Amino acid sequence: MTPAFTGPALITLTETTMTLPSTKTPTDWKRFIRPEIRAMKGYVPGEQPQGGPVLKLNTNENPYPPSPKVLEAIREAASGDRIRKYPDPMGNAFRSAAAGALGVKPEMILCGNGSDDILTILARTFVPEGGIISSPYPSYLLYQTLADIQGGKFQPFPYEGNGWELPRQWNAPVPHLTLVANPNSPSGTYIPAADIAQFVEMLKGPVVVDEAYADFAPGNAISLTLDARPAVAPVVISRTLSKSYALAGIRFGFAIADEAIIDEMTKVKDSYNCDAVSLAAATAAMKDQEYLQSITKKIIATREQSFQTLQKLGFQVISSHANFLWCEHPAHDATKLYQGLREKNILVRLMNYPGWKRGLRISIGTDAEMDQLFDRLGQLL
């Protein structure tokens, strides 16, 4: 009962076949892979040892558990009917909760499977093959990977001055997308929204403010999607629940932007990019702002204490507005310190940005965890 085909856009198949050079072995299969992907090394995330007595201070996880309300929401979501059905494609319950907490409209929010998903969607929405992704340097290494996968160019530019500031002049081509991590990783430095607005006005291209660590900072750039939005180009805010909300395991992030931008990003995302359990967990987390404040305060206090301790140990430390500290020791090689910590099952992130001295990025744990770190560092110095 196949009806006669009358659609217009089909390939017509005839009696002749195309001749292609034959391939003999599967090793030749790589020729089918896009050359940009073949040439890539791929982003290497921080080590995630599964189990074992490891003190993880390497991927900026939260040392405190998530809100008890989040764990309750996950257990509640474990019902047959919730799990067997597709989730809400747009995650409207989360959008309402986040809009309420952050003072924006629900339509200005897009849910993502981690902020990596949001950044991927942004790259695919704004950057054509051969397009330019730009970012201050040094920053989140993933930005280059996003450019690589899009078949685009990655053009980093240096932070200016001693204060990790954005450039005040721009004579390069306007990038298709510029990503500013704020607070920045690995430095932990923070740029006020007014300076970012000035940068956008000068750049005249779309800017993503990656606010993975904003809850540990004195402010954020949400106003640049509202009343203070630049006229020349859109600002998109990217957020994650992995750090301040202690939810790295559930993979949840979101974007805040003008509705028109969210509509375009929605076309690019996978239809059901967030699952029913994560949506329930993220919604519960967003509604419990009191818990967020309580653990964030503790982490900031430990950060300030740790900054002083590291200085006393002779480290050069950058004042941080995130949940980590970047440090170097003038007399001790960072690689050796990293290895010395690792021997005692303490993981920190060893970072080696070309053009920079190697340094350690240390996530803020509990006070007791930091004491364990400092004890070991004391032995190594």
Q: Tell which positions 271-330 bind a second copy, by CB under 8 A.
A: 271-278, 281, 316, 318
Query: Is 336 among the residues that bind a second copy (CB under 8 A)?
Result: no
In the complex, minimum distance from the CB of residue 379 to a second copy, in angstroms, rounded to a whole number: 25
Buried b (16+ CB within 10 A) or exposed e, 87-97: beebbebbbbb
Residues numbered 13-32 forming contacts with a second copy, rule: CB under 8 A: 13-18, 20, 22-27, 29-30, 32
Cβ partners under 8 Å of residue 280, min gap 6? 73, 74, 76, 77, 82
Contacts of residue 357, Cβ cutoff 8 Å, sequence gap at least 6: 328, 334
**Region binding a second copy by CB under 8 A among candidate stretches 41-49, 191-199, 211-219, 369-377:** 41-49
Contact between 225 and 236 (Cβ < 8 Å): yes
Nearest distance from residue 246's CB to a second copy, in Å? Answer: 4
| Binding residue (CB under 8 A) for a second copy from 268, 345, 369, 380 | 268
Q: Using CB under 8 A, pick the residue from 85, 103, 227, 331 that binds a second copy.
A: 85
Exposed, middle or buried: residue 273 (CB in 10 Å: 0-12, 13-18, 19+)? buried
Contacts of 22 (CB under 8 A, 6+ apart): none
Q: Which stretch binds a second copy (CB under 8 A): 129-137, 211-219, 339-347, 366-374?
A: 129-137
For 203-230, b/e burial (b = at least 16 CB within 10 A) is: bebbbbbbbbbbbbbeebbbbbbeeebb
The residue (of 134 and 220) whose beta carbon lies closer to a second copy is: 134
Q: Which residues in the chain belong to E strands, given as ranges?
A: 55-57, 109-112, 132-137, 153-158, 177-181, 207-210, 235-240, 253-256, 316-317, 324-328, 346-351, 359-363
Q: Is 40 in the site for a second copy (CB under 8 A)?
A: yes
Segment (H or E) for 343: helix 334-343
* Interface of this chain with a second copy, residues 198 to 227, rule: CB under 8 A: 202, 204-206
Residues 139-178 touching a second copy, rule: CB under 8 A, are 142, 149, 151, 154-159, 161-162, 164, 167, 169-174, 176
**Nearer Cβ to a second copy, position 79 or 294?**
79
Q: Which amino acid is at 52?
A: G
Contact between 41 and a second copy by CB under 8 A: the answer reads yes
Q: Does 260 bind a second copy (CB under 8 A)?
A: yes
Which stretch, 102-110, 254-262, 331-339, 362-370, contacts a second copy (CB under 8 A)? Answer: 254-262
Contact 203, 168 (CB under 8 A): no
Q: In the bound complex, what is the minimum distance in angstroms from residue 143's beta carbon to a second copy?
A: 13
| Residue among 33 and 194 whose Cβ is closer to a second copy | 33
Per rule CB under 8 A, is residue 332 in the interface with a second copy?
no
| Contact (Cβ atoms closer than 8 angstroms) between residue 185 and residue 213 | yes
267 sits near a second copy (criterion: CB under 8 A): yes
Which of 301, 267, 258, 276 is CA-nearest to residue 108? 258
Compute how many residues bind a second copy; rule: CB under 8 A: 139
Among 194, 270, 314, 343, binds a second copy (CB under 8 A): 270
Distance, CA of 219 to CA of 207 (rounded, Å): 18
Ramachandran category for residue 222: left, alpha or beta (phi over 0 → left; psi -120 to 50 → alpha): alpha
Indicate the residue among 304 and 379 with the shorter CB distance to a second copy. Answer: 304
Exactly one of 62, 139, 238, 363 binds a second copy (CB under 8 A); that residue is: 62
Asked if 110 touches a second copy (CB under 8 A), the answer is: no
Which CB, 89 or 219, lies closer to a second copy?
A: 89
CB of 47 or CB of 379, closer to a second copy: 47
Neighbours of 283 (CB within 10 A): 23
By CB under 8 A, name the one of 194, 336, 352, 357 that touches a second copy.
357
